[in-house]
Structure 1
Amino acid sequence: MRRVIFNQKGGVGKSSIACNLSAISAAAGYKTLVVDLDPQGNSSQYLLGKDGIDARNNVADFFEQTLSFNIFNKEPKDFVHSTCFENLYVMPSHQKLDELIFKLENKHKIYKLRDALKTLSSEFDRVYIDTAPALNFYTRSALIASEGVLIPFDCDAFSQQALMNIMSEINELREDHNRDLSFEGVIVNQFQPQANLPTHLIEELQEEGYPVLPVYLGQSVKMRESHSAATPLIYMAPRHKLTQQYVELYECLEEVLAEV
């Protein structure tokens, strides 16, 4: 299963969600890959430590080699790095993704990530793709390469409008490039149960037919501590309330997957 975590609005928790769901998948025994397409490299640093963003043989190197033919080109697996966590792997990001984007667009390399991940499908049971908060070349590549898309929603009015715009764009891309892409659901993140606005906005989404997943992720300083320690919650604080919410969310997604 290949999933992309995407929202055009920044600060909604894409990297945290991608990395923590991946870590739970790995802890459950699935060989799991995280592909970090955000030049900021938050997922790379979360799973590989502070040097993750400078790792050699990264996802930018993968895209760069597609720009010219070379009989000595590396295989997709050569851009995959192991983490210190069993079954968890990363294709790390790099800042030079920004430099490559126009060359990749001009040479129509939009399907290269899909082809690479299909090649890796025999090695990995689950793939989670983290994206930048923009519908750019890399995000489109991820949506074309994926079977499912999850959209984080942080319970404010601006995020609600962004969600509506995203759905229109995803539907158009699915129609033109990837009819197998399914909208798995909206992930409610940074939920505050005592506040009225989050509950009201969620109810509005449900009334409009958006598939809001039934597990809401709360707020906790433990997440920032997890980032600082470069250790996903399932390894750092397995009994913490937020960790258990992530586990419930993961199990919800796996249940749906099992029914397909």
Structure 2
Amino acid sequence: MRRVVFNQKGGVGKTTIVCNLAAIAAARGLRTLVVDLDTQGNATQYLLGANGAVPSRDIADFFDSTLAFSLQSPAFASYATTSPFANLDVIASSPRLEELIVKLEAKQKIYKLRDALKKLRGYDAVFIDTPPAMNFYSRSALIAAERVLIPFDCDEFARQALYTLLENIQELRADHNETLMVEGIVVNQFQPRAKLPIRVVEALREEKLPVLAQMLSSSVRVRESHEQHRPLIALEPGHRVTQEYVALYEALAGAARAA
């Protein structure tokens, strides 16, 4: 399963969701790969920072390799770095992604990630983290993925941006990836005692938007997991927010099996 977590709005928890769902998949025994396409590299730091691993190759090296003709390109898995967590590898981000984007767009390399992932062997699950913008890398991820999960943080501005986001995904789906499925909108940093989040979520459901039943609460434990470079399932498996992530993972896995 190739899953991308995407929203054009920043600060909605894309990276946290990617890393924690991937860590749960790995803890369940699935050989799991995280591909970090965000130049900020937060997923890379989250998962590799604990042991100070320095990747010998990264995602910029992969995209750079597509700019030159070669009869035999390196296997995509060769760009991965082993994380401290069993069954979990990371293809690290790089600041060089920024300087490559113009060349990649000019040479129309938008399908290279899709082609590489289709040939990928040895992994049961792939999670893709994206930049908070509809740019070359996020489009590459949406073209390469089978499913897209949309984080939403219950803000009125985020609600307005959500409509544009869904339209953009549908347009890309029609033009480039007809099999891409929107898994749903996952409400993140939810505060059940606050009136505004409840009102916004109810409005989205009344509009028949695919809001998932499983919501993720706001918690300082999430920030602590960032600081310690340990996903919640490794930091505190029994914590309330950890169990919310487990419930989300199981719901997504169940829906994938039923499809």
Instruction: Report the 3-state secondary structure (helix = DSSP H, G, I; strand = E; otherwise coil) of the residue aligned with 2:70.
Output: coil
SS in 2 for 1:33: strand
Distance 1:100 1:137 in 2: 10
Contact 1:152–1:189 (8 Å) recurs in 2:
yes
Tell me if the contact between 1:53 and 1:94 (Cα under 8 Å) persists in the aligned partners: no
Contact 1:22/1:32 (8 A) holds in 2: yes
**Per-residue deviation, residues 37-92 of structure 1 (Å, max 9, x unmatched):** 00000000000007879633100100001001135632211101111111111111
Matched residue count: 259
Cα contact 1:45–1:53 (8 A) shared by 2: no
Residues in 1 aligned to 2:233 and 2:183: alpha-carbon distance in whole angstroms: 23
Coordinate RMSD, CA, aligned: 1.3
1:123 is aligned to 122
Matches within 5 A, 1:205-224: 205-224=204-223
Q: Is the 8 Å Cα contact of residues 150 and 186 (structure 1) preserved in structure 2? A: yes
What's the secondary structure of 1:70's corresponding residue? coil
1:233 and 2:220 are equivalent in the alignment: no
Residues 1:111 and 2:135 aligned together: no
Answer yes or no: is the 8 Å Cα contact 2:50–2:84 preserved in 1.
no
**TM-score, structure 2 normalization:** 0.97
**Residue-by-residue CA offset, 1:170-225 (whole Å, 9 max, x unaligned):** 00000000000000000100000000110111111111111111111001111111
Query: Are 1:259 and 2:258 an aligned pair?
Result: yes
Contact 2:152 2:186 in 1 (8 A): yes
Aligned identity (percent) is: 56
- What residue ranges of structure 2 are gaps of 5+ in the alignment? none
Q: Could you tell me how far 1:123 is from its partner in structure 2?
A: 1.2
Contact 1:53 1:92 survives alignment (8 Å): no
Q: Distance in 2 between matches of 1:47 and 1:179?
A: 32
1:1-260 mapped onto 2 (5 Å cutoff): 1-49=1-49, 55-71=55-71, 73-120=73-120, 122-260=121-259
Do the aligned partners of 2:187 and 2:211 also contact (CA within 8 Å) in 1?
A: yes
Aligned partner of residue 89 in structure 2, secondary structure: strand
The whole-number CA distance in structure 1 between the counterparts of 2:95 and 2:182 is 29
> Does the CA contact (< 8 Å) of 1:58 and 1:79 recur in 2?
yes
After the TM superposition, which parts of structure 1 deviate over 4 Å for at least 4 consecutive aligned residues?
50-54
Runs of 5+ in structure 1 lacking a partner?
none
> Judging changes above 3 Å, is the alpha-carbon distance between structure 1 residues 69 and 50 closer, same or farther for their aligned structure 2 residues?
farther
CA distances 1:88-113 after superposition (whole Å, capped 9, x unpaired):
11111000100000000000000000
